Amino acid sequence: MNRDELKLNAKKYGHQKRPILKSIRVHCLDCYVEQANEVRLCEAYTCNL
């Protein structure tokens, strides 16, 4: 599978292109159930990121 096919498959399954820090923030907010204060205080050393 070439790069263009991979991009088309990603779009088909709902992936969107966004800056890496925004993607990390979205992951963290998901982890802490949209609690921004908890994200700021996060000390998870075993995070999957």
User: In the prediction, which pLDDT does 39 show?
Assistant: 85
- Residuewise pLDDT in 10s, the chain (49 residues): 677 787 777 777 777 778 889 888 888 998 888 888 888 888 888 888 7
Q: Is 28 part of a structural domain of the chain?
A: yes
Q: For tokens 């992936």, name the residue.
A: 15
Cα distances from 23 to residues 14, 15, 33, 39, 47, in angstroms, run 14, 11, 15, 14, 14
User: In the prediction, which pLDDT does 17 show?
Assistant: 79
DSSP-H helix ranges across 1-49: 3-12, 20-31, 36-40
User: In the prediction, which pLDDT does 37 show?
Assistant: 87
Distance CA 9, CA 26 (A): 22
Q: Is 22 part of a structural domain of the chain?
A: yes
**Count of domains observed in the chain:** 1
User: In the prediction, which pLDDT does 38 show?
Assistant: 87
Q: Give the residue numbers spanning the domain of 34.
A: 17-49
Q: Is 12 part of a structural domain of the chain?
A: no
Q: Is 48 part of a structural domain of the chain?
A: yes
